[in-house]
Structure 1
Amino acid sequence: MLRVVQWATGAVGRHAVRAVQAHPDLELVGAFVYSDAKAGRDVGEIAGLAPIGVTATNDPAEIVVLDADCVLYMAQGEMNPAGALDDICRLLAAGKNVISTAVTSLIYPASLDPAVAARLEEACAEGGTSFHATGIEPGWASEVLPLTMSALFERIDTLVVQELLDYSSYDSPGMMFDIMGFGRAPDAPVPLADPVLAGSVFRAPLLLVAEGLGATIDDFVYDRQVALADRAFDIKAGRVEAGTVSAQRFSATAVVGGRPALTVEHITRVGEGQAPDWPTGRGWKVTVEGSPSMVLEAKIAIHGEDENDQGCLGTAMHAVHAIAPVCAAAPGIRTFLDLPMIKGRHILSQR
């Protein structure tokens, strides 16, 4: 039985709490929360369960001293990546393996300043622990899917991974407005409009896939297009006024051998009818030109469920299912290239 701590109980973290609690090989032994309103409450109740006997705390020191094998770190780290790195390194050095969904670029730490990977490795060495970052996209669609498909190909000329989702039900004003720039003027100086900052999100999956395929990236090309609302309307995160961003299409492309070879593109809307000329869908699509040529589509919420909530569930489960292999791994940074295939044990319904 592996002892698990849940760090943060937002849209992804609540799903993780429920999954860990239901897993026969895992025991939830602690939970960290950010709000005073959640601190002191039973984390089962926070996650919509009956009480489970684990009280949430907003004191990181209490988590650090807990006897635990793994921490599921699910903070909104993109808003403070340096702070997330500090938290993660502290936990690793304290003897806890860490699986993070918080900072996309940590999926492949070599994509960042070498000092970041060095800090993580030092913390892992001090605590005898392993670090793994994951997600659903990036983290699964733009890494695991292409690498799994790659064994079928004689040659790949171009590979494009697209995420096509409607974020109108995603209840995170900070992420939606302050980071992504929805509901803002098209030239607002949000992080996603900055090619350096936005590019860093996609450099990680592109570099990871390139390493897995034995390729060397010459350069990166970034692009962002926006569409504007023709009327005001409300989404879960707040108000989108007329003339502000209601859809965006952003991508990063890795140039290999002088040609655009690997691309990750997100086509994201907040409501039906926005940017009607752009591709539509509910999920992820991998298009490969090569020998053979192939398109693989993964649709989510196929029965009309909330696609954002189901995406958050998928993100949580990818982390929960990684607990056992990460805890069994040798100390250090462990990416998808280092771990065995992450499988969903105990998920086949017995009904």
Structure 2
Amino acid sequence: MTSTVVWGTGNIGRLAIRAVRAEPALKLSGVLVHDPAKVGRDAGELAGLDAELGVAATDDSKAVLNAAPRAVVYAASGDIRPEEALDDICRAIRAGAVVVTPALYPLYDPRGAAPEFRDPVLAAVAEGGGSLFVSGVDPGWANDILPLFVSGLGGVIDVIRCQEIFDYSTYDQEDSVRNLIGMGMPLDYGAPMLWPEMPTMIWGSQVRLIARALGVELDAIRETMDRRALDTDVRTDTMGDFAAGTQGAVRFEVQGIVGGEPRIVVEHVTRVHPSCAPDWPRPPDGVGAHRVIVEGDPRIEVTVEASDRTGNRAAGGNATAVGRLVNAITWLVDAEPGLYDALDVPLRPAVGRLGRRPT
């Protein structure tokens, strides 16, 4: 069994502990935390499981890496601390671990990444013999392997569109929804996730990856952005009240331009209440979905809905993203050391897990 550490126990880390526990080929050997209040607590408790796993959380990353784990799921945030996240990940690679993470957006497409992100990883790989695979929690597979698979079913292809469509009132992440994305804020509020070039910084790598896979050259990457205000006050179960006149929906596109036209598009449509922007695309059940549309002949549309055991759609989407990362570990362990992307790492069957519930 592959000794595996989960680094971070937030929304993604909790799901990672569950995913490692569910994979027969992996053994959870360590859990790293930042919050002193979590040190010493059992991994099962931190993951919200009903059982203890016999692994106590620690904040001593040096000791954990000195124990030479074969794999690390790096689930700590890289949103506002990319340099620190890159340093942590490189330390794990130098310790010989294969690392999977959603934390470094530029490395969704390593070949197009800036040297300040790519070069330290390549140096760590050469020094320690570890590996790295980065895929997003939006989830990454919906913006890379799924659209590419669907494109292979078509004939004439005009546009490939990847959509995330969600009702954010189901999220239990108030700080992100209000402060990062701007829901409930004035329309002139400078939400960090909506700053000019920020969507391209996050999702542009996936557009470039699709273009590379399809063998096309991008003229440019372009953004569009639209925000709508709530017509009335609304109340949510998870985050409280949102006032009329504040931002209630946002829609943006990151467009890969080919021949002067948007041909590869990653689109996000998010609301804090179904009444806002009723003319924008909606998920089938009104809650959330990921959709790939291939415009052409034939036109192909694939919609994927995922929910966790409580029925939460947002958590279900995150769980599939974590599953993609954790399930890549066994392939990475067998592969040569290196810096990998979604075109390298195959989507593997759930070998040994059909009908199996971890004990």
Which residue in 2 is equivalent to 1:260? 262
Alpha-carbon separation, structure 2, partners of 1:303 and 1:7? 23
Alpha-carbon separation, structure 1, partners of 2:103 and 2:29? 21
For the pair 1:190 / 2:188, whether they are aligned, the reply is no
SS at match of 2:84: helix
SS at match of 2:323: helix
Which residue in 2 is equivalent to 1:334? 340
CA drift at 1:193:
2.3
CA drift at 1:278:
1.3
Which residue in 2 is equivalent to 1:36? 36
Cα distance change on mapping 1:140 and 1:348 into 2, 3 Å? same
SS at match of 2:159: strand
Q: Relative to structure 2, which stretch is displaced further, 210-219 or 53-62?
A: 53-62
SS at match of 2:290: strand
CA drift at 1:3:
0.6
Which residue in 1 is equivalent to 2:85? 84
Contact 1:173 1:238 in 2 (8 A): no
Write the mapping of 1:56-205 to structure 2, written as runs, cut at 5 A.
56-205=57-206
Contact 1:321 1:345 in 2 (8 A): no
Alpha-carbon separation, structure 2, partners of 1:17 and 1:297? 27
> What one-letter code is carried by the residue in structure 2 that aligns with 1:27?
K
Alpha-carbon separation, structure 2, partners of 1:110 and 1:191? 26
Question: Deviations for 1:204-226, whole angstroms, at most 9, x for unmatched residues?
Answer: 11001111111111111101111
Which residue in 2 is equivalent to 1:283? 289
Contact 2:145 2:342 in 1 (8 A): yes
CA drift at 1:272:
2.8
> What one-letter code is carried by the residue in structure 1 that aligns with 2:327?
H
Contact 2:24 2:353 in 1 (8 A): no
Alpha-carbon separation, structure 1, partners of 2:308 and 2:81? 34
Alpha-carbon separation, structure 2, partners of 1:26 and 1:206? 32
CA drift at 1:110:
3.4
Which residue in 2 is equivalent to 1:51? 52
CA drift at 1:236:
2.5
Question: Deviations for 1:300-337, whole angstroms, at most 9, x for unmatched residues?
Answer: 34998111121122122111111111222211111011
Cα distance change on mapping 1:9 and 1:178 into 2, 3 Å? same
Question: Deviations for 1:225-258, whole angstroms, at most 9, x for unmatched residues?
Answer: 1122221534535653332222111110000122
Question: Deviations for 1:26-65, whole angstroms, at most 9, x for unmatched residues?
Answer: 1000001121221111111111232211111123223322
Which residue in 1 is equivalent to 2:326? 320
Q: Relative to structure 2, which stretch is displaced further, 198-207 or 303-312?
A: 303-312
Among all aligned residue pairs of Structure 1 and Structure 2, give the percentage whose two residues are the same amino acid. 36
Contact 1:30 1:66 in 2 (8 A): no
Question: Deviations for 1:75-105, whole angstroms, at most 9, x for unmatched residues?
Answer: 2221222221111111111211110022333
For the pair 1:12 / 2:17, whether they are aligned, the reply is no
SS at match of 2:53: coil
Alpha-carbon separation, structure 2, partners of 1:116 and 1:104? 10
Cα distance change on mapping 1:302 and 1:8 into 2, 3 Å? closer
Alpha-carbon separation, structure 1, partners of 2:181 and 2:189? 10
Alpha-carbon separation, structure 2, partners of 1:43 and 1:130? 25
Alpha-carbon separation, structure 2, partners of 1:119 and 1:289? 39
Which residue in 2 is equivalent to 1:233? 235
Q: Relative to structure 2, which stretch is displaced further, 115-124 or 228-237?
A: 228-237
> What one-letter code is carried by the residue in structure 1 that aligns with 2:84?
G
**What 5-or-longer segments of structure 1 have no aligned partner?**
none
Alpha-carbon separation, structure 2, partners of 1:193 and 1:137? 15
Cα distance change on mapping 1:268 and 1:194 into 2, 3 Å? same
Alpha-carbon separation, structure 1, partners of 2:134 and 2:237? 29
SS at match of 2:221: strand
Contact 2:45 2:52 in 1 (8 A): yes
CA drift at 1:198:
2.0
RMSD of equivalent CA atoms = 2.1
Contact 1:136 1:318 in 2 (8 A): no
Alpha-carbon separation, structure 1, partners of 2:308 and 2:274? 17
Contact 1:231 1:242 in 2 (8 A): yes
CA drift at 1:350:
5.7
> What one-letter code is carried by the residue in structure 1 that aligns with 2:166?
L
Question: Deviations for 1:8-37, whole angstroms, at most 9, x for unmatched residues?
Answer: 112222122122123221100000112122
CA drift at 1:342:
3.1
Alpha-carbon separation, structure 2, partners of 1:65 and 1:135? 28
For the pair 1:300 / 2:318, whether they are aligned, the reply is no
CA drift at 1:144:
0.9
